[in-house]
Structure 1
Amino acid sequence: MLRYIISVILLLVGVGLECLALVDLLHLIAVANAVAWQPFWLHLLAALLATAAGARLVPQRYRQGSDAGMIYLFSMALFIPLLGVLIITLSLLPGLWTTREPLPKIWEERRIPDLAMRTLNIHTDTMFMRDGLMSSLLNIKDPDYRQEVISSCQYLNRRQAVPILRAAMADPAEEVRLQAFAMISKYEKQLEEQVNDLEKKVEHNRADDRAQEMLARLYWEYNYLDLARSTLTDFFMHKAMSHLEQALALVPNSGRWLMLTRISTSLGEFEKAQQAIVEAGKLGLDQDHLAPYQAELSFRRGNYRDIPSDLDSLSEQARNNPTLAPVVAYWT
């Protein structure tokens, strides 16, 4: 409080000295004595007092870089006789104390948002979420964030999630590898429980073609997701073929024939795969679905010259499919 009282006194003295210098100057002009220096010294002293008082009365937030500010106050008081000190006293200092708070910034820096830990209103089966999680896993350095990537995989289906988890099992962070291994083990357990439930259902009713087909798809998924050990791969594939053939014997349809094509091709039974493609075509499946499998079968057989003609039957829309377009471009 004493500091403010002293500053006010200095300002009042400065104003008084300015007034005295003005009176003295007017007197000197009246007597035509232009060489007297007394008004100048009074004005200089008033400017110094006003600057010293201003330095003490300026708000705290304006005291950083105070050298330039003090030079500004002194220049105003010195080069604007009388009015400079009055401006500092009556306008500048009150204005600094009553200034408004700064407006909020229009742009604010934000950190990278966390990955979703709850179900989102998006189609989680799209390649955008899958590729986005894979990119985050491979490029983000923070291991905690990579763990969040693994946790977010629970909102993908198994076919989308397992490739990401396989990549995570080579992660440099042990906690990431362990979390990925735990999730893959959970998927294996879920798959095993589903297979056991359906096996019991099929034992009670072998005429249930839907259960037979679903069981075939689950055995196929062991191979598709690379969950089976190498010694069991052929066993699961033959189990899938057996159940699928029973479903086809009950109710044949193009989807089941096409799946038989995939299984037979994987097992190297190319004649059976070719016959399945023919049967699927007889039931009305279009070339956009059949041609890729026919081309794959030609490739597996080593008939590379047949691949361009196999792909020629694709429609323009199928040719522009992001997955097929590079294959078509290479072989045609």
Structure 2
Amino acid sequence: MIKIIIAAILGCICEYFALLQILDTPNWLIVTLLHALASLFYAFISYTLIPVKYKTTPFSSVLFLFLLLLSLPILGIIGVVFALSFALCKPIKNDDIEIEEHKIPALPFEAKMTSANPSYSIGGLKAILKHASEPNKRLSAVMSARHMSDARAIPILKLALKDLEDDIRLLAYSTLDGKETKINEKISQYQQEITLTSTQPELGKLQGQLAELYWELSYLGLAQGALKSYVLEKAELLALQSVEHVKAPATFVLLGRICLSLNKYPQALTHLTHATEFGMAQRHVLPYKAEVAFYMGLLDDCKRYLNELPKQPEGSELRHLQEYWHG
């Protein structure tokens, strides 16, 4: 407290002599220096009087106070010191303000409980996303798609990317990005394992598994345009390298599907034939053979392949194809 009193007295003396200089023949350099000294003393006083919680940055605080006081007239210094110190030490209490409490509303982006086996079909969810006027319903459709297989969920999520609501678009994008990230992480893992493996058949198996991951990027629609062509060609190359050492029937089926997507129909038919020769059941190969024959214009072969296929369950796409081709 003694330091504050001394600083106040010294500040007043400096201001007094500065005032005398102004009233007499003024020497503005001396006036400025005296006023600066007074401002420095009162900056110290102001910083000392303010509460401790405001003293987090001593240098910046004192500098601010000094510049503030320096820019004020002579008598304004005392007013600022008392006003600033009193305002910070004795803030006005808002006891008369009435606070009205409100219940927390149910926000539309809250996660909802959904069944592991959603009752909506893929067509029903698409209809909701296209025609439902309430954002909550469309959001529920996206949440339901998260519990479906990737092949069924991704078309729904891509449709949700066109929604007008930000929350729905962001949820769909984050879900799609998560699926793609998982596949890319597996691809990176298999690539590292391949570089460390040189013996067969381990290398061939790894190449086959990596080919399946590249194929999955295309099949799920996560790769489009030039990227789709690249991942398909990469998958074809890896699968061909794999079957040189590991004659896995599933890899030949994969090669057939890849060539079918690349419009390499004769090669696709050859690979599918090899798949049955190495033990793949006909029922897993005949649908793809029928598709290849259709694109090649071999309609009789297409009909024959579908006829050789066992009767499919009611309502399935293959059952509809069988009924169409056999009247």
Task: Indicate the TM-score class for this superposition, using the shorter chain for normalisation.
Answer: 0.5 to 0.7
Cα distance change on mapping 1:218 and 1:305 into 2, 3 Å: same
Counterpart secondary structure, 1:324: helix
In the TM superposition, what whole-angstrom CA distance separates every residue of 1:241-295 from its partner, at most 9, and x where no partner exists? 1111222222212211111110011112222211111111112323322211111
Q: Distance in 1 between matches of 2:260 and 2:251?
A: 14
Counterpart secondary structure, 2:194: helix
- With 194-203 and 164-173 compared, the bigger mean Cα shift is at 164-173
- Report the Cα offset of residue 309 of structure 1: 1.4
Aligned partner (choices 126, 142, 145) of residue 134 of structure 2: 142
**Other-structure match for 2:275:** 280
What amino acid is the match of 1:193?
E
- Report the Cα offset of residue 119 of structure 1: 7.6
Q: Distance in 1 between matches of 2:203 and 2:120?
A: 37
Q: Is the 8 A contact 2:218 2:228 kept in 1?
A: yes
Aligned partner (choices 151, 168, 180) of residue 160 of structure 2: 168
Counterpart secondary structure, 1:208: helix
Q: Is the 8 A contact 2:218 2:224 kept in 1?
A: no
TM-score, length-scaled by structure 2? 0.58
- Report the Cα offset of residue 165 of structure 1: 0.3
Measured on the aligned residues, the alpha-carbon RMSD in Å equals 2.7
- Report the Cα offset of residue 325 of structure 1: 1.2
TM-score, length-scaled by structure 1? 0.58
**Other-structure match for 1:223:** 218
- Give runs of aligned pairs for residues 143-292 of structure 1, distance below 5 A: 143-206=135-198, 207-292=202-287
**Other-structure match for 2:320:** 326
What amino acid is the match of 2:319?
A
Q: Is the 8 A contact 2:114 2:144 kept in 1?
A: no
Gaps of 5+ in 2: 1-109
| Bigger Rg over Cα | 1
More helix by share: 1
- Report the Cα offset of residue 167 of structure 1: 1.8
Aligned partner (choices 287, 291, 295) of residue 290 of structure 2: 295
The number of residues matched between the two structures is 215
What amino acid is the match of 1:170?
K
Counterpart secondary structure, 2:169: helix
- With 194-203 and 152-161 compared, the bigger mean Cα shift is at 152-161
What amino acid is the match of 2:281?
D
Q: Distance in 2 between matches of 1:119 and 1:256?
A: 36
Counterpart secondary structure, 1:155: coil
What amino acid is the match of 2:213?
L
**Other-structure match for 2:301:** 306
User: Among the aligned pairs, what percent are the same residue?
Assistant: 27
Cα distance change on mapping 1:300 and 1:176 into 2, 3 Å: same
Q: Distance in 2 between matches of 1:147 and 1:293?
A: 36
Cα distance change on mapping 1:116 and 1:328 into 2, 3 Å: farther
Q: Distance in 2 between matches of 1:283 and 1:116?
A: 48
Q: Distance in 2 between matches of 1:216 and 1:128?
A: 33
What amino acid is the match of 1:331?
W
**Other-structure match for 2:310:** 315
